[in-house]
Chains A and B, each alone.
Chain A
């Protein structure tokens, strides 16, 4: 079945550090990937749509200069949290669907737990 790999699974770093998270589709090509954030006991919040070869589309209220997204190939999207602060601590999850199947269904990576000290 479709597998989405996300790395790293856990990051602890100091305030002001930039953190890069990778999302890979292992056995299919993904022209679109989605990045979510989830705070404890809350629902998934879509942050942005990552589009291969073009700019990402950000949801209202998400700072594009804070959360940099790059989707340079059909199997890899990266999310960089720039100058992270404690309020950026959260669970970040990506999803992707097989482009040859109309991008459905979406499969999720295992998530990255980010803790900013």
Chain B
């Protein structure tokens, strides 16, 4: 079982819709959770971090964490074509070094 798994996609939604991206992780000791966005040919960009159970909202983005189910998700409301990218779920197991374990990413396309 991989450390971090994401729905493989690709995911395609119309402009204005809600895009839902899901991620599960295997290590119950994981403490910190991140969503990165990576445009084609570019490096990953941090868009959300979440550390405790529940929802965290930042503009059009909402991250949801359920440690009991070992599940983290990202919702993108009012999706825009500029949101089209690969979204990477990353998990930190609590190491003080900050090492991250990444999922393979979900490619999202928002069509106008």
Contact = CB atoms under 8 A, between A and B. Distances in A.
A108 B90 CA distance: 13
Q: Is the interface of B mostly helix, strand, loop or mixed?
A: loop
Nearest to A2: B46
Number of contact residues on B: which range applies?
A: 20 to 34
Contacts of A97: 98
A106 B104 CA distance: 17
A34 B99 contact: yes
B27 interface: no
A91 B32 CA distance: 26
A61 interface: no
Given A93-B43, A108-B44, A111-B43, A44 B88 contact: yes
Task: Pick the 3 closest A-B CB pairs, nearest first.
Answer: A103-B98, A111-B43, A97-B98
Interface of A: 6, 32, 34, 43-44, 46, 49, 91, 93, 95, 97, 102-111
Given A108-B36, A108-B43, 19 more contacts: A32-B97, A34-B99, A34-B100, A43-B104, A44-B44, A44-B88, A44-B102, A93-B43, A103-B98, A104-B32, A104-B49, A104-B98, A105-B34, A106-B46, A106-B98, A107-B46, A109-B43, A110-B42, A111-B42
